[in-house]
A and B are shown apart, each in its own frame.
Chain A
Amino acid sequence: MSAKTPSSSAALVARGLCAGYGDLPIIEDIDLDVAEGELVAVVGPNGAGKSTLLKAILGLARVFRGEVNVAGSNVTRSPLDALARRGVGYVPQTQDVFANLRVIENLEIGGYLLSPRQRRERIEEVFEIFPALAPLRRRYVRTMSGGQQKMTAVARALMLSPQVLILDEPTAGLSPDLTRVVLEEQSRALADTGAAVLLVEQKAKIALQLADRAYVLVRGRVAKAAAASEILNDPEMAEVFLGAEGLRVPR
């Protein structure tokens, strides 16, 4: 977990990003880099705009200003399927698998863009990355546990051998112990693939323990960008995560 400095040929770059919904910008002036093989976390209190940032990169929210580049090419406002074709993988927070299909069918759809032979080979490769999934290949995904479903979701995204992988709260809804296991397993697996990984997490502490670098988002802006360990040990950051959200809290 070294503090790498972002290079100009980073896999994913956002500059001056200002985005939101309708006429309302939620995030402003965001600069962000993720290099190959890096795991970058975006953390921050509720409503800070973490999800919006992801959606802006993925073309799912309205981008008012700014630019998003993947491996040097401008992909700002590209639709999701175009991004997938450019090697950007996405695992949404919910509805992240085809629940009524089998694991192997999920992977087959994940490899939609590949030729049949490439698809078969890649499926075996993905099963090597997630060995726990291999014996489950003919299981219907809806019958599996939350952790196993998430694993399937990430495996599906890996079918395209993405250069950039974006994960939206991968541990949402998982119990704390499972969270640790899932995140650890995933970050190890993803590090092996060499992809640039960007993840948004509510559970800041564990995300910071596993990430290389992190951005702290507060009220739509970057409050701090540094090595994850630095942020983890910063006493000021603890304050950032508290807030009464417009409610009086009497003693």
Chain B
Amino acid sequence: MNAFAQALGFGIASGAIITLGAVGLTVQVGISNVFNVTYGALMTLAAFIAYGLEQRGVSIWAAALCAILTLGVVSVVLNRILIAPLKRRGAGFVGAIIGTVYAGLIIQTLIVVVAGAGVVTYGNHWGPTVTGAGFTFTTIQLGIIGLTVACMVALHLLLTKTLFGRALRATAANENLARACGIRTRRVVDGAWFLTGSMCGAAGVALALTIVSFDFSLGGTFLIYMLSAAVLGGIGQPYGAMIGGLVVGIASQLAAAYSSPVYEDVAAFGILVVVLLTRPRGIFTRRGSLAGLWET
């Protein structure tokens, strides 16, 4: 078994989960102009909801769907009661991000209060392994890759072909002006948070299914990967995050394979720092075209 091919395979599989999460995160930053650090804790929440339902006899797939939809709703609520009001109050970017950090801590602590601080385990849903072209994947990994691809295609169609997609792009570009065109931006923003929240939930459940045993810190540590991917591709650029997810996934798995497992995290963080210091706007953002996040 070629170590390189194996690492590459893992990289693609983990890249799929990272992409799923990163695209949701980057779109949230794109429409609200705030880094939603609660994202990590929300992923964990989804994983635990699915776990809790499975413990009560629900099939894992139904449990996952439930968790995903719940996260969509929770994200809409989070924006409505925390993020949008903080922005309105003029808390500034730093104030808003701090707010989401604390909200993440609250959610994480609630999970501990309800489900305990210990490790929980899903049933084994990996399915039979599939081998081909030197790669080996479990069925669940293939499923997740497939899901991610389907989501990305759906997102692309949504953004380019539907009225909602057009309204979303207008709202992200200039909310006030979009409203002046008659677009119900509140609904558009809610819809966007529901979609991205669902992606967050999907990423959380997918991650939990892949590593099987996890605790309350699941999403918190995964934040590094999604942030890295989003920043690499350019904040607010969903297509950038898709590529970023794949790159970060493969890079981190290769780093882990060729040295020690802890380098998985280090590689992702390394990419983040390199982008930050050399080209903060990411690969796909043109100079001066997306205002606010960085100076030229």
Does B bind A? yes
Give A residues with C-beta under 8 Å from B: 79-81, 84-85, 89-92, 95-98, 100-101, 108-110, 112-113, 156-157, 159-160
Supposing A98-B170, A100-B289 touch, asked if A112 and B181 sit within 8 A by C-beta, the answer is: yes
Supposing A109-B170, A112-B166, A112-B167 touch, asked if A96 and B177 sit within 8 A by C-beta, the answer is: yes
Supposing A80-B176, A100-B173, A101-B173 touch, asked if A112 and B182 sit within 8 A by C-beta, the answer is: yes
Assess the A92–B177 pair: CB atoms within 8 A.
Answer: yes
Within the complex, what minimum Cβ distance (angstroms) separates A151 from chain B? 16
Within the complex, what minimum Cβ distance (angstroms) separates B49 from chain A? 34
Assess the A81–B184 pair: CB atoms within 8 A.
Answer: yes
Assess the A160–B182 pair: CB atoms within 8 A.
Answer: yes
Assess the B182–A98 pair: CB atoms within 8 A.
Answer: no
Question: CA A166 – CA B130 in complex, angstroms?
Answer: 64
Determine chain B's interface SS by DSSP, over half rule. helix
Within the complex, what minimum Cβ distance (angstroms) separates B253 from chain A? 36
Residues of A near B177 (CB, < 8 A) are 92, 95-98
Counting CB contacts under 8 A, is B180 at the interface?
A: yes
Residues of A near B179 (CB, < 8 A) are 79-81, 84
Within the complex, what minimum Cβ distance (angstroms) separates B165 from chain A? 12
Question: CA A90 – CA B179 in complex, angstroms?
Answer: 10
**Most chain A CB within a 10 A radius of its CB, from B166, B176, B182:** B182
Question: CA A79 – CA B185 in complex, angstroms?
Answer: 10
Residues of chain B at interface, number, CB under 8 A: 17
Residues of A near B289 (CB, < 8 A) are 100
Partner of B178, one of A85, A96, A109, A157: A109
Partner of B181, one of A79, A95, A109: A109
Q: Output the nearest chain B residue to A79 by Cβ-Cβ distance.
A: B179
Residues of A near B178 (CB, < 8 A) are 109
Within the complex, what minimum Cβ distance (angstroms) separates A197 from chain B? 15
Supposing A81-B185, A109-B166, A112-B167 touch, asked if A90 and B173 sit within 8 A by C-beta, the answer is: no
* A-B contacts besides A95-B174, A95-B177, A109-B166, 6 pairs, CB < 8 Å: A89-B180, A98-B173, A109-B170, A109-B181, A112-B170, A160-B181
Supposing A109-B166, A112-B167 touch, asked if A92 and B182 sit within 8 A by C-beta, the answer is: no
Counting CB contacts under 8 A, is B183 at the interface?
A: yes
Q: Output the nearest chain B residue to A101 by Cβ-Cβ distance.
A: B173
Q: Output the nearest chain A residue to B291 by Cβ-Cβ distance.
A: A99
Question: CA A97 – CA B181 in complex, angstroms?
Answer: 11
Question: CA A81 – CA B184 in complex, angstroms?
Answer: 6
Question: CA A156 – CA B183 in complex, angstroms?
Answer: 14
0/1 string, B13-56, CB within 8 A of A gives 1: 00000000000000000000000000000000000000000000
Residues of B near A112 (CB, < 8 A) are 163, 166-167, 170, 181-183
Partner of A81, one of B166, B173, B182: B182
Top 7 closest pairs, chain A to chain B, by CB: A84-B182, A80-B179, A81-B179, A113-B182, A90-B180, A109-B170, A85-B182
Q: Output the nearest chain A residue to B163 by Cβ-Cβ distance.
A: A112
Assess the A84–B180 pair: CB atoms within 8 A.
Answer: yes
Q: Output the nearest chain A residue to B289 by Cβ-Cβ distance.
A: A100
Within the complex, what minimum Cβ distance (angstroms) separates A81 from chain B? 4
Q: Output the nearest chain B residue to A85 by Cβ-Cβ distance.
A: B182
Question: CA A90 – CA B182 in complex, angstroms?
Answer: 10
Q: Output the nearest chain A residue to B185 by Cβ-Cβ distance.
A: A81
Within the complex, what minimum Cβ distance (angstroms) separates B206 from chain A? 33
Question: CA A198 – CA B126 in complex, angstroms?
Answer: 66
Q: Output the nearest chain B residue to A110 by Cβ-Cβ distance.
A: B181
Supposing A112-B166, A112-B167 touch, asked if A156 and B181 sit within 8 A by C-beta, the answer is: yes
Q: Output the nearest chain A residue to B170 by Cβ-Cβ distance.
A: A109
Residues of B near A159 (CB, < 8 A) are 181
Q: Output the nearest chain B residue to A114 by Cβ-Cβ distance.
A: B182
Question: CA A160 – CA B180 in complex, angstroms?
Answer: 10
Residues of A near B185 (CB, < 8 A) are 81
Within the complex, what minimum Cβ distance (angstroms) separates A89 from chain B? 7
Residues of A near B184 (CB, < 8 A) are 81
Complex A-B: 11 CB contacts under 8 Å: A79-B179, A80-B179, A80-B180, A81-B182, A95-B177, A100-B289, A101-B173, A108-B166, A109-B181, A112-B170, A113-B182
0/1 string, B149-183, CB within 8 A of A gives 1: 00000000000000100110010011011111111
Assess the B180–A157 pair: CB atoms within 8 A.
Answer: yes
Q: Output the nearest chain B residue to A153 by Cβ-Cβ distance.
A: B177
**Most chain B CB within a 10 A radius of its CB, from A89, A109, A160:** A109
Q: Output the nearest chain A residue to B288 by Cβ-Cβ distance.
A: A142
Within the complex, what minimum Cβ distance (angstroms) separates B284 from chain A? 13
Within the complex, what minimum Cβ distance (angstroms) separates A214 from chain B? 24
